[in-house]
Structure 1
Amino acid sequence: MHHANGDPDVLILLGEDSSVDNEKRVRRKIDCVILPMMCIVYFLQYLDKLSLGYAAVFGLIEDLGLQGSQYSWCTSIFYFGQLVAEGPFIYLMGRLPLTRFIAVTIVLWGAVCMCLAAPTNFAGFAAVRVLLGVTEGAVSPAFVTITSIWYKKEDHALRVGIWGGMNPLAQVIGSLLMYGIGKIHHPSIEPWRVLFLLCGALTSVFGVVFYIAMPSTPHKAWFLTPRERQIVLERMERDREGGDKVKFSWAQVRETLFDTKAWFILLFGFIASMPGAVIFFGTILINGLNYDKFQTMLLTAPSGAISLGMLCVAMIGCSVLPKYRCLVLILVTIVPLVGNILLLKLPLSATWGLVASSWLASCNPGILVMIMSLSASNIKGNTKRAMVNTYFFIGLCVGCIAGPQLWEPSAAPRFFSGVTMGLSCWCVFIFLVGLYWGFCYLENRKRDREQGVHSGTETYAGEDLTDKEDVLFRYSY
């Protein structure tokens, strides 16, 4: 191995290959260090988001004097903060060492989360929610990028599924945590304030750990030997991956703006997140069926367990049918679709049926994870990847802003407008996934005809090529 063109980032690998056993050993090491840190951060992020739904049942609405649609806006306004932050974060994630930047935002979001315990009215609480959205805005797009830097495309579905699976796990643990806090809380401070203080403190502490322990690139992986670092670089080159480049490319910006598949990712984020409001209003739905606040927390926990189970099914499906990930995505979408139909049709007297239907309707975290997995596999180029990841989260933010407006607490427990919207969104989503599948299939066929199958032995690693520029790249669908 030697340098080419005087650029130490461009390596020519001539006939030097690592064994399958060595690659597996290195991947296990990455799984033991990189993956757990991503899982913990994602778990804490979703726990912070879900805390609002738990707090609503334990007195937040009454203590802050929320009226009309103000609670819905407390849910939506968080995503205004994320939406505002996405533009600057596109630039910063392309200019700064990614993991260092993310670690700082983790510490800041933990501090802001603790501040949620302070407000006494809607205005103050809403202002802090906006700041929380700003500080959390970089994590999910960055994690998609980090996954594509450390893992090959064939590994993406499972790894994104693992750290994305922290979402439903947070649903289970968060509801039980709120149950425990509610049982032992001190009368001088409301239990929902204790929840925000605890979640924020845990987040900030782990942000410091993330800054210290998370390597910025495979070149600087403290847990790998020099030879193992080389193996990582070689296996990623064979996967047509250039790594994390601290630079911003306007050429990639232009390419992304005119890439149809990139805009599909934005639409996926928007359509799939609109029905997600059921997760935040599910506690109010169950509480409105004459269950007390402690029973509501216990009945909320299975929702996360079912979502986690569906995510596992999706990941197994992607492993068994690696060439049909879009088909698996469509099949998984049927579950929340059925949940919304049942919420719409079951009578209010069928309380257990409605509770179970809310569990099914809440199964969208796995769908979002699969979309992120497809994005990680199908986008190349440092700036382009950051932009497309941000596309997705812009769509997600807009969907999460709009969705809760159809779920006003006064409409509990039926929530007719919200459930009808969810049903419509899932039907449109299935149609869009089918179109995306067709686009990727036709593009691969076109490339096969024009370039043929790659059979060369000399490849270039470290070049910041996009998926369109790399003629050997093939899309996953």
Structure 2
Amino acid sequence: MRQQPKDDVQAAHVEGLPSEKVITSGDIATQLVDIFNQSNITPEQDNQCLRRIDLVLMPVMFLSFAVQYLDKACLTSAALFGIVEDLDLYQVSSIGGTFTVSTQRYGYCSLIFYWGYLIGLLPGVYFAQRFPLGKYVAIVMFLWGGVTVCTVAVDSYHGLLAQRFFLGVTEAGIAPAFSLITAMWYKRREQPLRFAIWFSATGISVLVGSLIFYGIGHIQGRLPAWRYQFMVIGCFSSVWGVCLWFLLPDSPLTAFFLSRDMRVVAVERMRQEQIGIENKRVKWDQVREAFEDPKTYFCVVMLFAINLANGAASGFGSIIVQSFGFTTLRTILLLSVAGVFVFVFTLSTGLISVFWRNARCYSAMFCCLPVIAGAVMIWRSDWQTTKAVSLWGFFMLPVFAGTQVMILSLVAANTAGHTKKAVTSGLVWASYSTSNGVAPLLVKTQETASHYPSAFIPIIAMMSLVFILLGIYRVYIFSLNEKRDSVRLVDRDEAVRTGFLDITDRENENFRYQA
């Protein structure tokens, strides 16, 4: 068994514990379980603890992620209420006497958010590991709410570019933090559904947010309608950030909604998972391993390929649907229907993966197919005579969210060692932001007549690639398990000792991967 470094010493700072108690440990979880010496919990205790955790964490994380997506989606709605014209986000050019309107500037404002997101990921991942997670998320949300409100004062294209960049920087920490929180609180078989729950908030955000934006857009005031949209959403984000300071715990050790005994159960139920809970010490050998692990690159490539569809489904969704010939009101209502598809498919994949063991790759592969079909339907259909076909194709594009959630759950389930988890999570979200930073460039309004081939051909190709990579990933994962089983089977007694040593999945001989 791997020995822990001698300098990895932490003091217990848990309510009800003697503060002078000092233990040698790889994970903060041992502050509880080593002192109370409880290694066995009953199924009833496990289920009761899980219900309490779900009752608090899932609504809080769901609403938080929904609010974050509202901030990003606000630009799409503002495009229908005059921001393109007011800030000169379009350009008119004449070629051979034919005038064309390019919304390339609008595309830049959409994509620069994700380049800011990419820049903010490095400090975001570092702070998420070094500081209390709950407090960190609360501060981040309060700050990004303030940056959103600043949009009200923007009066030029360049000003909007700067605002969107810093909005991306401030929001960068939330998704990696939520990935770490899910891995910290939930067993690996429980994680797909929990990832699906908080990520499905994007669908509800589109559904409800479209209606909210439409209502705000009809405010008759001194300011243009789109400025009120950013004002309301930004203020709500900051207020919710203050609430999170009190609602989102930093770890199971400090959860206000768990009794002392239940905190021990919350920690102990994670021991057999072999992925630990939290460690504030950055381990550079784990950083190196994250970059050397082939699994990391599988997920990085797949996340990049998937999110090319987001440029059409989210960034330019309102413009594409309006190209089908719908009015502004009808476009907003139809965008909300797309949110229902996200919600239903995301939750469905999560449920299937909980009740069907090792079904994550299969669920992710299944969700690739509607996206491919939808892109083909939009690209090749006749918008004038078969408007319904192109519309249903658009509804199917956001189903990529189901594939994304399954890949995120695979990252959490198959990565052990807290520093390695943080770095791997940061890398996959960096891939996400890079892809979203490129995707809007593929949607060219000059190609409206030819149905945006520069956008939909790459989407078809990339989703097909993801389908193939998921199959290869599944074979690779099971080959690793078979190799380990051929050497030695899992030793349950030793697994109890290695569960909280904060060692990586490669170092831990008792670790088995899931697909």
Say yes or no: TM over 0.5: yes
- 1:52 corresponds to: 75
Q: Aligned runs of 1:157-196 on 2, under 5 Å?
A: 157-182=192-217, 184-196=218-230
163-172 vs 306-315, greater mean Cα deviation: 306-315
Q: Is the 8 A contact 1:233 1:461 kept in 2?
A: no
Q: Is the 8 A contact 1:326 1:433 kept in 2?
A: yes
- 1:380 corresponds to: 416
- How many angstroms does 1:20 deviate by? 0.8
- Structure 2: how far apart are the matches of 1:466 and 1:99? 24
- Structure 2: how far apart are the matches of 1:116 and 1:356? 33
**1:423 is the counterpart of 2:460:** yes
- Structure 1: how far apart are the matches of 2:22 and 2:486? 30
Q: Once the two structures are superposed, what CA deviation does each residue of 1:321-378 show, in whole Å capped at 9, x if it has no partner?
A: 2212101110111111110111121112122221111111222222222211111111
3-12 vs 62-71, greater mean Cα deviation: 3-12
The change in CA–CA distance for 1:177 and 1:444 in structure 2 (over 3 A counts) is same
316-325 vs 380-389, greater mean Cα deviation: 316-325
Q: Once the two structures are superposed, what CA deviation does each residue of 1:127-155 show, in whole Å capped at 9, x if it has no partner?
A: 00000000000100110100010110011
- How many angstroms does 1:290 deviate by? 2.5
- Among residues 239, 251, 257, which one is paired with 1:217 in the alignment? 251
* DSSP 3-state at the match of 2:222: coil
Q: Is the 8 A contact 1:90 1:386 kept in 2?
A: yes
The change in CA–CA distance for 1:18 and 1:410 in structure 2 (over 3 A counts) is same
* DSSP 3-state at the match of 1:124: helix
- Among residues 86, 90, 95, which one is paired with 1:63 in the alignment? 86
- Structure 2: how far apart are the matches of 1:212 and 1:36? 14
- Structure 2: how far apart are the matches of 1:312 and 1:382? 27
Q: Aligned runs of 1:2-401 on 2, under 5 Å?
A: 6-7=24-25, 9=28, 10=30, 11-12=33-34, 16-67=39-90, 68=102, 69-182=104-217, 184-279=218-313, 280-349=315-384, 350-401=386-437
The change in CA–CA distance for 1:5 and 1:171 in structure 2 (over 3 A counts) is closer
- Structure 2: how far apart are the matches of 1:187 and 1:143? 38
- Structure 2: how far apart are the matches of 1:308 and 1:76? 24
* DSSP 3-state at the match of 1:364: helix
- Structure 2: how far apart are the matches of 1:452 and 1:304? 45
The change in CA–CA distance for 1:18 and 1:295 in structure 2 (over 3 A counts) is same
- Structure 2: how far apart are the matches of 1:313 and 1:107? 32
- 2:510 corresponds to: 472
1:468 aligned partner, one-letter code? R
Quote the sequence identity (%).
Answer: 28
- Among residues 423, 432, 446, which one is paired with 1:410 in the alignment? 446
1:469 aligned partner, one-letter code? E
2:473 aligned partner, one-letter code? Y
- How many angstroms does 1:94 deviate by? 2.3
* DSSP 3-state at the match of 2:497: strand
* DSSP 3-state at the match of 1:469: coil
- Structure 2: how far apart are the matches of 1:312 and 1:235? 24
**1:462 is the counterpart of 2:496:** no
The change in CA–CA distance for 1:467 and 1:441 in structure 2 (over 3 A counts) is same
- Structure 2: how far apart are the matches of 1:154 and 1:6? 29
**1:446 is the counterpart of 2:480:** no
| RMSD, aligned α-carbons | 1.9
- How many angstroms does 1:239 deviate by? 1.5
Moved over 3 A (4+): 2-16
1:365 aligned partner, one-letter code? A
Q: Once the two structures are superposed, what CA deviation does each residue of 1:135-184 show, in whole Å capped at 9, x if it has no partner?
A: 000100110100010110011001110001101111101111122123x3
TM-score (norm 2): 0.89
Q: Is the 8 A contact 1:314 1:328 kept in 2?
A: yes
- Structure 1: how far apart are the matches of 2:274 and 2:134? 22
- Structure 2: how far apart are the matches of 1:127 and 1:14? 54
1:440 aligned partner, one-letter code? I
* DSSP 3-state at the match of 2:270: helix
The gaps in structure 2 that reach 5 residues or longer are 1-17, 91-101
- How many angstroms does 1:299 deviate by? 1.5
- Among residues 468, 473, 486, which one is paired with 1:436 in the alignment? 473
Q: Is the 8 A contact 2:195 2:350 kept in 1?
A: no
- Structure 1: how far apart are the matches of 2:400 and 2:474? 20
Q: How many residues align?
A: 476
- Structure 2: how far apart are the matches of 1:168 and 1:37? 16
The gaps in structure 1 that reach 5 residues or longer are none
- How many angstroms does 1:100 deviate by? 1.6
Q: Once the two structures are superposed, what CA deviation does each residue of 1:54-106 show, in whole Å capped at 9, x if it has no partner?
A: 11111111111112310111111001101111122232222222222221111
- How many angstroms does 1:233 deviate by? 1.1
154-163 vs 31-40, greater mean Cα deviation: 31-40
Q: Once the two structures are superposed, what CA deviation does each residue of 1:225-265 show, in whole Å capped at 9, x if it has no partner?
A: 11101111110112113211111111101111111101112
- Structure 1: how far apart are the matches of 2:387 and 2:441? 24
Q: Is the 8 A contact 1:269 1:395 kept in 2?
A: yes
